Amino acid sequence: MLNNIRVIAMDLDGTLTQHKTPLSPEHREILTALSKKYKLLMVGAGQVMRIFNQLEKFPIDIIGNYGMQYGKYNPQTKSIDIIKDITLPCDKEKVTQKINYFREKYSFTAYAGETVEFHPSGCVTFPILGTSAKQQDKLSFDPDRKKRRKIYNEVVEAFSDYCVFVGGSSSFDMAPKPYNKFYALDLYCKENNLSHNEVVYIGDDYGLGGNDEAVYLSDFNYLTIDNYLDFPKVVESLL
């Protein structure tokens, strides 16, 4: 499947780095080697500049916010030029009502900070433990995602205007439809005259509700990874 590959697209957290940690020198070296043979593209859930900074300013184009943002690396400035930055309206009152309904129904009523996080893009995070929860509490809440996957379909149905993802270890993330990683990658291909079989995607979040799932279930070439430390082994065949 890798004979015609021109672009390597990839997720960040859990795939190339540990969650919200900087790019390691070892993985930077591998990306550099890959960049000599392929076009590299980061496809992220977060904002472009946050991803770029986490990558320690590695020279790479970045899709952010599930396709609502696009940043192109500028070799002259050694920074990112934001080419696209879409923001969409959000009915905050309606979203809050729905989230509070789930809090009451499933006893998620003890939380720290705000009940919901609204992002400037129009994306929404339902932080089950609240926006100010302690990191250790978030990590221990639902590490295998079983609690949230049990009610995932119900949340999807309630938020029919959004693409809903099981995010991190204690939240649901939502992007206004049609924005998800498949939509973003498909649009990138159309804009750059690429066919899907010329792209391979690498991601760890391919299970039910994962933000890589839409790509995994599509016709894009896909390399699964379950531990970011295995990244060198996963891309070995590409080198």
Specify the CATH number for the domain of residue 162: 3.30.1240.20
The burial class, CB within 10 Å (0-12 / 13-18 / 19+), for 136 is: exposed
Q: Are residues 42 and 113 in the same domain?
A: no
Residues 105-125: tens digit of each pLDDT: 999 999 999 999 999 999 999
Residue among 23, 61, 29 nearest 228 (CA): 23
Q: How many domains does the chain have?
A: 2
Specify the pLDDT at position 172. Answer: 97
Domain C-terminal end among 122, 141, 176: 176
In a domain, 58, yes or no: yes
Mean pLDDT value of segment 208-230: 97
Range of the domain at 208: 7-85+179-238
169 falls in which pLDDT band (50, 70, 90)? confident
Are residues 68 and 109 located together in one domain of the fold?
no
- Reference 155, options 174, 168, 130; nearest CA is 174
Same domain, 169 and 112: yes
CA atoms within 13 A on the CB side of 53: 6
The yes-or-no verdict on residue 1 having pLDDT over 70 is no
105 and 163 co-located in one domain: yes
Question: Which of 124, 142, 176 is where one domain is finished?
Answer: 176
Taking all residues of the chain, what is their mean pLDDT, rounded to a whole number?
Answer: 96
Residue 164 carries which side chain, given as an amino acid letter? V
What CATH number should be reported for the domain holding residue 65?
3.40.50.1000
Confidence of residue 19 (pLDDT cuts 50, 70, 90): confident
Q: Whole-angstrom Cα distance, residue 226 to residue 207?
A: 11
In a domain, 210, yes or no: yes
On whether both 209 and 161 belong to a single domain, the answer is no
Provide the 8-state DSSP code for 197.
Answer: G
- pLDDT over 70 at 237, yes or no: yes
Output the pTM of the full model. 0.94
Last residue of a domain, one of 176, 197, 215: 176
The answer to whether residue 157 sits within a structural domain is yes
